[in-house]
Amino acid sequence: MKSTQIVPAALLAEHLASLRREGKRIVFTNGCFDLLHPGHLYTLAQAKALGEVLVVAINSDASVKRLKGERRPILNQEERAVMLSALAVVDYVTIFAEDTPLEVIRLLLPDVLVKGGDWGADAVVGRDVVEAYGGQVVLIPYQSGFSTTDIIERIVTIYTKH
């Protein structure tokens, strides 16, 4: 049985410190993950390949609303966390309330910070923090054709055709 856990960031920081002392490489990525799609799965699989432990931090519902608008998220934070935790490549999921993961990154101190290639290297939040202590930032090539917004638009189009 898979042992992925949904853990508050403060508790997770203690656990990751222990794993790091055992020589485990901690990989971190974040996002809204409102509707899981193949682009997400590709990025998560590539991220996991960069270390032994993959942590996924997701935006809280309030944070998603601020970033994406009042109609989002489609799935609430608990639903999104449960879906991510069911994936074999994900070891830990945590939820953050801020608009960016900067505070979570400062707390968890990942060895590798991963973002999708749709982000420019200079735009990656936490890059300076991670690189300051010797960690690295990796951009995973963007998988075009997949986005939650595109999926929502496809659903609306299909169900509004007469």
The whole domain housing 126 covers 5-160
Query: What total number of domains does the chain contain?
Result: 1
Contact yes or no for 111/27 (Cβ under 8 A):
yes
Q: In 31-99, which residue ranges form alpha helices assigned H by DSSP?
A: 38-48, 61-68, 77-85
Beta bridge partners of 57: 30, 94
The string of pLDDT tens digits covering residues 13-50 is 999 999 999 999 999 999 999 989 999 999 999 999 99
Cβ-based neighbours of 104, under 8 Å, separated by 6 or more: 9, 30, 57, 94, 96, 98
Q: Which residues pair with 137 in a beta bridge?
A: 113
* Global confidence as pTM: 0.91
Res 152: pLDDT: 86
Return the pLDDT at 117: 73
* Residue pLDDT, tens place only, 52-110: 999 999 999 999 999 999 999 999 999 999 999 999 999 999 999 999 999 999 999 99
Rounded to whole angstroms, the Cα distance separating 71 from 92 reads: 27
- pLDDT for the residue numbered 161: 81
CATH of the domain at 111: 3.40.50.620
In this structure, what is the dihedral angle of CA atoms 75, 149, 92, 107, given to the nearest 10 degrees?
Answer: -110
